[in-house]
Amino acid sequence: MVLHSNLGIHHDAGTLLDKTNEYNMQFNVLKVMRVDKRVVWLTLVAALLVAGIITFSVQKQQGNDKEMVIGVLAANDIRLAKLEGLKDGLRKYGFKEGENVEFIIRNAGNEREKLVPQAKELVYRRPTAIVAMGGVEADVLKDVTRESKIPVIFAGVALPVERGLVSSYMFPGNNLTGVDNFQAELVGKKLEFLKMLVPSISRVLILYDPRVPSGTPSLAYLLTAAEKVGFEVSVISVMTRQEIDNVLECVQENRKKQEANLLDAVLLLPSFVWEISPFIHSLSLEHEVPVVGLYEAEADRGFFVSYGSSYYTQGFQAARLVAKVLQGQDPAQMPVETAYQLELVVNLRVASKLGLQVNPEALRLADVIIRHEEPAHGESR
């Protein structure tokens, strides 16, 4: 059979069929090759992506294992309450102990001479950051990290600029930043609260430790406030338990001589001595004099009033700064924060035993009231 085209070209039907089949086979082969090449290409790209993701994940995990190590330096067990707050706060920012963060904790156990070697040990371990649980720890770490420049975050320190830890609040300027617990500035407010709570008080004994960098500046705030509220104040420096005992013996002698009007209350300025001396918490009842302390735990153990930021709260607040360092931020550019949660704690059990007449109107200012009975939820205990 012969086909005729309009172009005058003659094609044999069989030949045309064979050619058509040959072209179809070639086309199918080309199509399969294209599909195969596309599959191979996509497979290769997918393999490279998976390999890249795995490599990145491994590198990231290895990096995290190295980065998420936090050193902790504490002077004593009491300050470990800050560590509890720190851990809870870090969980809020996604850093969980046992999952993506590790803590190396060193506790001097009230032996200040251990702080320097313990700080050096932490620096040797090369953590991403070290958290100082207080002022004495921060002072040591400032010197020990001078060369390594490991970031140091202090979880509650009084007057960090005045004590030389940072250059300024806005721009710390070195490897330290943290939380100012505001204890120096709060001493005046404590006198005001004391006067409002017990208006009959007029004479206050101030005990301070001259070795504490914030001690002397705190006195300036205190004397200004004392004049404002009309208090007569006596200031005595004490650095050892024996010196405290001597002062309290004088208080007792005055009372035996019926000279109780020489002293109505005692106010403590920040000192390592109060912290490591368990007897100080029974001072109020033993010597029949109300004592104004620094932290909630002190009121809970026998003081009449405390005002400030609790250890737990200071640690919790410091967690935000620690998290920033773990994320790569420079502490030199991280402003020092002031304590954002202050609590006035009043112990009515102590007030009752001391026979104090507490102003019920002023009592409404208290954040926590320690009563005789079990507390109602949310107000007192």
Domain boundaries, the chain: 1-43, 68-182+314-338, 184-308+343-370
Q: How confident is the model at residue 249 (pLDDT cuts 50, 70, 90)?
A: confident
**What's the pTM value of the predicted model, to 2 decimals?**
0.77
Q: Which of 191-195, 277-281, 351-355 has the lowest mean pLDDT?
A: 277-281
Q: How confident is the model at residue 68 (pLDDT cuts 50, 70, 90)?
A: confident
Q: Could you give the CA distance from residue 255 to residue 259 in angstroms, rounded to a whole number?
A: 5
Assign domain 68-182+314-338 to its CATH superfamily. Response regulator (3.40.50.2300)
- Supply the pLDDT for residue 255: 64
Q: How many CB atoms lie within 10 A of CB 283?
A: 22
Q: Token pair of 356, please?
A: 């104090």
Q: How confident is the model at residue 62 (pLDDT cuts 50, 70, 90)?
A: very low
pLDDT digits (tens, 9 = 90+) for 150-162: 999 999 999 999 9
CATH code for the domain defined by 184-308+343-370: 3.40.50.2300
Residue matched to tokens 């590790």 = 102
- Supply the pLDDT for residue 372: 67
- Supply the pLDDT for residue 305: 93
Domains 68-182+314-338 and 184-308+343-370 share a fold: yes
pLDDT digits (tens, 9 = 90+) for 199-221: 999 999 998 888 888 888 888 88
Query: Span 84-105, mean pLDDT?
Result: 96
- Supply the pLDDT for residue 261: 54
- In the chain, what percentage of residues exceed pLDDT 70? 75
Query: Reduced to 3 states, what is the DSSP secondary structure of residue 155?
Result: strand
Query: Span 164-173, mean pLDDT?
Result: 95
Checking if the pLDDT of 342 tops 50, the result is yes
Query: Span 112-123, mean pLDDT?
Result: 96
- Supply the pLDDT for residue 34: 45
Burial track 49-75 (b if 16+ CB lie within 10 A, e otherwise): eeeeeeeeeeeeeeeeeebbbbbbbbb
Look at residues 282, 316, 283, 281 and name the one whose alpha carbon lies nearest to residue 297.
281
Give the contacts of 112 (CB within 8 A, at least 6 positions apart): 75, 136, 272
Residue with the bigger pLDDT between 79 and 373: it is: 79
Checking if the pLDDT of 273 tops 80, the result is no
Burial track 175-206 (b if 16+ CB lie within 10 A, e otherwise): bbbbbbbbbbbbbbbbbbbbbebbeebeebbb
CB 310 within 8 A of CB 81: yes
Q: How confident is the model at residue 245 (pLDDT cuts 50, 70, 90)?
A: confident
CB 380 within 8 A of CB 368: yes
